[in-house]
């Protein structure tokens, strides 16, 4: 899957067949997952084409880098759910 960039930053697309829609998966810490997984960018850039696959049962995509490192990026909807934003 190809790394892309929009106004929010880097993302990778994955088709989630159980939901029948396409979601964007982005780097960045997400409570509940960041303590166990590397959720950073690790030098990936727009246009890179790493091996990636959806993680069954989780709102994550596993990205395998050529040097053997493994990243996990969370779905954009998961970032919104776990980050309520600034308090009013």
Are 27 and 41 within 8 A, CB to CB?
yes
Ramachandran class of 7: left when φ > 0, alpha when ψ lies in -120 to 50, beta otherwise: alpha
The answer to whether the beta carbons of residues 33 and 22 sit under 8 Å apart is no
C-alpha angle 86/87/88, rounded to 5°? Answer: 115
Q: Looking at residue 23, what is its pLDDT?
A: 79
Instruction: Quote the pLDDT of residue 82.
Output: 65
**Would residue 31 count as lying in a domain?**
yes
Residue 61 lies in a domain: yes
pTM: 0.83
Banded model confidence at residue 22, pLDDT cuts 50, 70, 90 = low
The domain in which residue 60 lies consists of: 3-82
**How many domains is the chain partitioned into structurally?**
1
- For residue 17, pLDDT over 50 is answered with no
Q: Is residue 88 part of a domain?
A: no
pLDDT tens-digit series, residues 30-83: 888 999 999 999 999 999 999 999 898 888 999 999 999 999 999 888 877 766
Q: Element (H or E) spanning 60, and its range?
A: strand 60-64
11 lies in some domain: yes
Residue 87 lies in a domain: no
């Amino acid at each position: 899957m190809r790394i892309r960039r929009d106004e929010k930053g880097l993302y990778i697309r994955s088709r989630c067949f159980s939901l029948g829609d396409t979601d964007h998966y982005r780097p960045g810490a997400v409570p509940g997952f960041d303590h166990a997984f590397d959720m950073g960018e690790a030098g990936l850039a727009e246009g890179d084409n790493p091996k990636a696959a959806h993680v069954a049962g989780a709102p994550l995509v596993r990205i395998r880098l050529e040097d053997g490192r493994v990243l996990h990026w969370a779905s954009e909807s998961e970032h919104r759910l776990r980050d309520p934003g600034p308090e009013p």
